[in-house]
Amino acid sequence: MGLRAFEKTFCKVCGVNVGNEAADLSEEELAALPEKLRGLHKMAQTVSPTNLKVLNDVDFGGLKDARKITEGALAEPKYVNP
């Protein structure tokens, strides 16, 4: 959110974050992102990152082609709860 590389999608009922979409960025904005975030932004243009924790009774171990991505936790600036 802080670098505006992704647009967050939220549940219309409860408001929880359910996914991310790659934001439309200019070449200059994309070049200014940290390298790891540029890679995530490129990947998010072809896949649909989804917060699987919001799904009930899902066996994560049985999901085919699901990958756990934690690089977002490295992004600066860090989120601060107001």
Q: Per-residue pLDDT tens for 39-65?
A: 878 877 777 777 777 888 877 777 777
| CA atoms of 61 and 75, how far apart (whole Å) | 27
Please report where in the chains the tokens 């409860």 appear, as a residue.
Answer: 14
| CA atoms of 38 and 3, how far apart (whole Å) | 11
3-30: pLDDT as tens digits: 677 788 888 988 888 888 888 888 888 8
The reported pLDDT for the residue numbered 79 is 62
Mean pLDDT, the chain, rounded, equals 77
- Whether the model clears a pTM of 0.75, i.e. scores above it, the answer is no
The reported pLDDT for the residue numbered 49 is 74
What is the per-residue DSSP string for 7-46?
EEEE-TTT--EEEEEE----HHHHHHS-HHHHHHHHHHTT
